[in-house]
């Protein structure tokens, strides 16, 4: 029995940790991928989790599977394919710790996941199925994602979605918009950033959250605002939660995913339907997630930068 099963990319982020005397970056290989970051936060905060995905049968693939095993995320649903390479992403950070991605070796293993390779039995006993859009950027992973979403919906699972827009991975903006729109229409719980709302509709996060509730049938929306925190909304109301102050940001990689996983862990503890949370409960869940996400920016990496719950509680 798993609380949350996610489907999607598992990859190695090469992130700059220093520069040499000529100004060239020294890169550190770090396990990454949005669903893994999301599940790492959930697992750290007491939930049982599993990932559906694909890596190459190579050193990086083994490293990723071992990392998830060590964190306690079930790897039963991860396919190792000798015919593809584990996906590699190269990260550059600006002076404020904000990151840009470029991807090598296209297509990476993550987009080569086929529908018939999915272990859908993992979804039978879970409460929530989570996905993003990297697995929607191309076939066969797009069909695999759609098959998993359909199966989860047929079996009455809550559907959670984080668009996680990475523009360089799409042929054009229209293709990205079309797939994100599809994902939003499937979902009960959405974590979306202010930049993604701007990209989709050119409106504010508050307007975006209301649009998702009223026009897309979403039941709980987190519209994250980067360093400013998050606007959260459901049918009972909405509120804005600021991020904690005094955070020394080094690397924001994975902050949004860690926000999403942390929020989901607190939501599941309430054991309520998403639309029934009171505004006070929305605020408490979101405060925890903002603190956990902000604290994760104080170290490099995503999956490995989730801090223990007592550190989050200490700054709440
Ligand atoms: P990503 O795609 O990088 O994973 P995102 O765009 O989905 O992130 P953001 O809105 O950037 O999500 O950030 C999510 C949460 O992380 C914010 O709500 C906030 O709590 C925390 N956070 C992000 N950036 C910062 C920062 N510079 N300082 C403090 N907290 C931050």
Residue 224 CA: nearest ligand 1 atom is: 10
Q: Give the model's pLDDT for residue 261.
A: 98
Q: How confident is the model at residue 308 (pLDDT cuts 50, 70, 90)?
A: very high
How does pLDDT run across 8-20, given as a tens digit for each residue?
999 998 888 888 9
* Alpha carbons 11 and 108: distance in angstroms, whole number: 9
> SS3 of 191, please?
strand
* Alpha carbons 260 and 38: distance in angstroms, whole number: 6
- Closest by CA to 52, choosing from 30, 27, 79, 71, is 79
Write the secondary structure of 71-137 as one string of H (helix), E (strand) and C (coil): HCCECCCEEEECCCCCEEEEEEECCCCCEEEEEECCCCHHHHCCHHHCCCHHHHCCCEEEECCHHHC
Phi, psi (degrees; rounded to nearest 5) at 283: -65, -45
* Alpha carbons 181 and 177: distance in angstroms, whole number: 6
Residue with CA nearest ligand 1 atom 28: 227
Is residue 233 predicted with pLDDT exceeding 80? yes
| 118 touches 124 (CB < 8 A) | no
From 197, 252, 253, mutation site for ligand 1 pocket: most ligand atoms within 8 A of C-beta: 252
How does pLDDT run across 243-292, given as a tens digit for each residue?
999 999 988 889 999 999 999 999 999 999 999 999 999 999 999 999 99
Residues in the chain, total: 316
Distance between Cα 98 and ligand 1 center (Å) = 9
How does pLDDT run across 62-102, given as a tens digit for each residue?
999 999 999 999 999 999 999 999 999 887 777 676 667 67
Distance between Cα 79 and ligand 1 center (Å) = 30
Q: Ligand 1 — pocket residues by CB below 6 A? A: 164, 193, 224-227, 229-230, 243, 247, 249, 252, 254-257, 259, 290, 293-294, 297
**Strand intervals (E) in 265-316:** none
Verify cis geometry, omega within 30 degrees of 0, for the bond prior to 302.
no
Distance between Cα 97 and ligand 1 center (Å) = 11
- Closest by CA to 122, choosing from 73, 68, 57, is 73
Please tell me the chain's helix, strand, coil percentages from 3-state DSSP, rounded to the nearest 5.
Answer: 45, 25, 35
* Alpha carbons 160 and 264: distance in angstroms, whole number: 9
The whole-number average pLDDT for the span 185-198 is 98
Q: How confident is the model at residue 313 (pLDDT cuts 50, 70, 90)?
A: very high
Distance between Cα 120 and ligand 1 center (Å) = 31
Residue with CA nearest ligand 1 atom 23: 226
| 71 touches 56 (CB < 8 A) | no
Q: Give the model's pLDDT for residue 242.
A: 97
Helix axes 34-44, 255-270, angle to 10 degrees: 40
How does pLDDT run across 32-62, given as a tens digit for each residue?
999 999 999 999 999 999 999 999 999 999 9
Summary mean pLDDT of the chain: 95
Phi, psi (degrees; rounded to nearest 5) at 171: -65, -35
Distance between Cα 182 and ligand 1 center (Å) = 24
pLDDT: is 218 or 169 the higher one?
218
Q: How confident is the model at residue 131 (pLDDT cuts 50, 70, 90)?
A: very high
Residue with CA nearest ligand 1 atom 20: 290
């Amino acid at each position: 029995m798993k609380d949350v099963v996610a489907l999607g990319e598992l990859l190695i982020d090469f992130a700059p940790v220093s520069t040499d005397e000529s100004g060239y970056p020294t890169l550190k290989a770090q396990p990454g991928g949005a669903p893994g970051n999301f599940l790492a936060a959930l697992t750290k905060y007491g939930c049982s989790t599993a990932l559906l995905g694909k890596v190459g049968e190579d050193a990086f693939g083994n490293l990723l599977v071992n990392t998830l095993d060590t964190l306690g995320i079930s790897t039963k649903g991860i396919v190792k394919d000798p015919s593809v390479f584990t996906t590699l992403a190269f990260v550059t950070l600006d002076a404020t710790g904000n990151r840009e991605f470029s991807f090598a070796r296209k297509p990476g293993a993550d987009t080569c996941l086929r529908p018939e390779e999915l272990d859908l039995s993992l979804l039978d006993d879970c409460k929530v199925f989570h996905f993003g859009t990297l697995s929607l950027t191309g076939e066969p992973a797009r069909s695999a994602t759609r098959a998993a979403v359909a199966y989860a919906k047929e079996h009455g699972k809550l559907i959670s979605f984080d668009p996680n827009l990475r523009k360089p991975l799409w042929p054009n903006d229209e293709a990205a918009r079309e797939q994100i729109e599809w994902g939003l229409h499937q979902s009960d719980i959405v974590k979306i950033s202010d930049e993604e709302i701007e990209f989709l509709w050119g409106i504010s996060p508050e307007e975006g959250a209301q649009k998702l509730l009223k026009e897309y049938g979403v039941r709980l929306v987190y519209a994250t605002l980067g360093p400013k925190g998050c606007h959260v909304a459901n049918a009972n109301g909405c509120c804005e939660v600021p991020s904690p102050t005094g955070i020394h940001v080094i690397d924001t990689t994975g902050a949004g995913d860690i926000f999403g996983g942390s929020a989901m862990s607190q939501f599941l503890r309430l054991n309520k339907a998403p639309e029934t949370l009171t505004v006070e409960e929305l605020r408490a869940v979101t405060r925890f997630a903002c603190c956990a996400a902000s604290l994760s920016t104080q170290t490099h990496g995503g999956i490995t930068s989730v801090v223990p719950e007592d550190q989050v509680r200490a700054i709440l």
